[in-house]
Amino acid sequence: MESNGDDSILRDEAVASSNAGIAGETSVVSANLILDRVGEVALALDLDGLSWKLLERLPSDRSDCCGVKRSPSEAAGIRLADIYAVEFIDHALIPESNLSNPARCLLREDSQIYRFIVHGVERSKCHPCRCILGTYVFGHKDQQVCQMWVNVINSCLDQELQRPKNLLVFVHPKSGKGNGRTTWETVSPIFSRAKVHTKVIVTERAGHAFDVMLATTNEELKQYDGVVAVGGDGFFNEILNGFLSSRHKAPYPPAPTDFVQSLGDCGDVLMRNTNIRGGEGHSGTCYTDDTQFLLPKEEFRFGIIPAGSTDAIVICTTGARDPVTSALQIVMGKNVPLDIAQIVRWRTTAESKVEPCVRYAASFAGYGFYGDVITESEKYRWMGPKRYDYAGTKVFLRHRSYEAEVAVLRVNSEETHPAEEGHWRRHFRALRSLNKRQKVICRANCEICTANRDVSSQSKPYSHPGEMGWLSFKGRYLSVGAAIIACRNGRAPDGLVADAHLADGFMHLILIKDCPRAFYLGHLLQLAKRDGDPLNFEFVEHHKTSAFTFRSSGKSSIWNLDGELFQAHQLSAQVFRGLINLFASGPLV
């Protein structure tokens, strides 16, 4: 390509832009280059990104690199925010079939030019939440011109401070269908291209990631911009608990007075560590053993690359169960806050001593049906994800209910669907067409999740000024479930609670009272249906709350925390608003 003296100008402009980072400036770097599969274009770089304009008319049957036919005057481009990497790929032959006659004249006889690739992120037209890889190959006969473009684009990308540089990656090789290692090998080139350094640990046993996170000091963690889990919800729960167990210090969850009294000698401990007076909320300071690692810490984020059986957290935070989408959102430095529930087990069994044990959950805590399914499924891990269907069918046919006491901290915004005792045939309706709840679904840049988020107050547990005291229940339940997020998955496309939010400081407590098996089947079928309404049954109670307590009337009980077993006869739970941040953008639709 003839430069006509523009090469030196381009180099000077590129160096100036590289030094200034084009931050706060409106300078433009431009030159004529060859765009692979298109032809000669005028390429320009400014604060918004790359743009190019065709300088020659394409034949009527030709299209650009995205498959879109364009006229000579039509411009195209890509935003800087959608570029995740750029790399120089040396010289190579340009297929002459991709060039019209005017462009061929600008090249040497052997049609060899130096090239560089701009790697971008595009949205799938079929699945708007899914990100796909886009590449744009530019060429020039002068190697220095190509290298200048690579340098100046990289300089611009370096100004994107939210993008990670160093990550600690845990790979669960047996997660889901046992494809954790393969999943990482598929997406690892994305991290390499984006120049994100990764320290990869392939776990060798259950609890391996927990032990590593627990043993890692804060000084060591400061070397990383975040931690990435290649696996499922249970694997992420393991990493989360290893991280928080030594760094998150907070008062125990609030509890009604009768719950404290039932704890016996430990009642005084709970009284000293939490505010149990109804209507005043729960207070206290959330801190770590290192004052330089306060939580939440927005610059330190967690990422999840889905390789599990359900991947509910990924689906709710990205909108797609796709490893490439998750990897791209990680390297682009996307950020979304996430509520975390702190679960305190006071007694393991009815006869055991009071020994507080703290665990954390990011998506769900369930008892009864949910605990039985996870317990039964452990016997069939060799089946992979299908074990949940098999175990769920067995537990459903068994149709066991459990006696328990539950207390919920009421708030003004609470929405409840109370159950009515008896008269099941008269009161049962699959759906209520009237008085349905107005659902506000959590999306990217959700106003509910970002409203009233005072950064200075985020070191404290979330407090609701509208707390109205405790509401207690006692009876037989098929299941007790606390959904911190919507919990969307392949078996429940809208989740357990369609309008649950990622960071509003609430969880949704769902109590399924004992009922005939056919009625419970109706509830489960609504969960499995898109646009279903599983909460509109007479035997379903739904409470939007920031805290609850639980006490089993049996000898022992098994809970499901993010897909992990947790035995607890007596427990209390509270939500910490936006306690951690994820490399995710939130679902677009």
- Give the phi and the psi of residue 41 in degrees, each rounded to 5: -135, 155
CA–CA distance, 380 with 579 (Å, rounded to integer): 34
19-22 contacts at long range (C-beta below 8 A, 24 or more positions apart): 21/155, 21/156, 21/158, 21/159, 22/46, 22/47, 22/155, 22/156, 22/159
Strand partners, 287: 249
CA–CA distance, 166 with 2 (Å, rounded to integer): 41
SS3 (DSSP) at 461: coil
Q: Are 459 and 295 in contact (CB under 8 A)?
A: yes
B/e letters for 431-442, b = 16+ CB within 10 Å, e = fewer, are: eeeeeeeeeeeb
SS3 (DSSP) at 239: helix
Q: For the chain, how long is the longest CA-to-CA vector?
A: 90
Burial class (CB in 10 A: 0-12, 13-18, 19+), 451: exposed
Is the bond preceding 296 in cis, omega lying within 30 degrees of 0?
yes
Q: Cα 481 from chain centroid? A: 21
Please tell me which residue in 7, 64, 225, 233 is annotated as part of the active site: 233
Amino acid identity of 283? Answer: S
Structure tokens at 181: 């290692």
CA–CA distance, 508 with 521 (Å, rounded to integer): 21
Q: Are 281 and 274 in contact (CB under 8 A)?
A: no
Residue among 538, 488, 492, 482 at smallest CA distance from 513: 538
Q: Are 543 and 483 in contact (CB under 8 A)?
A: no
Strand partners, 76: 52
Q: How many CB atoms lie within 10 A of CB 418?
A: 11
B/e letters for 5-14, b = 16+ CB within 10 Å, e = fewer, are: eebeebbebb
SS3 (DSSP) at 268: helix
Active-site residue, 233 included: yes
Distances (CA, A) of 138 to 37, 189, 321: 10, 21, 32
Task: Report strand pairing: 226-231 vs 166-171.
Answer: parallel
Amino acid identity of 61? Answer: D
Residue among 503, 113, 472 at smallest CA distance from 338: 503
User: What DSSP designation does 504 have?
Assistant: S
Question: Phi/psi class of residue 488: alpha, beta or left (left: φ > 0; alpha: ψ in -120 to 50)?
Answer: beta
Tallying the residues shown for the chain, one arrives at 589
Active site residue ranges: 233
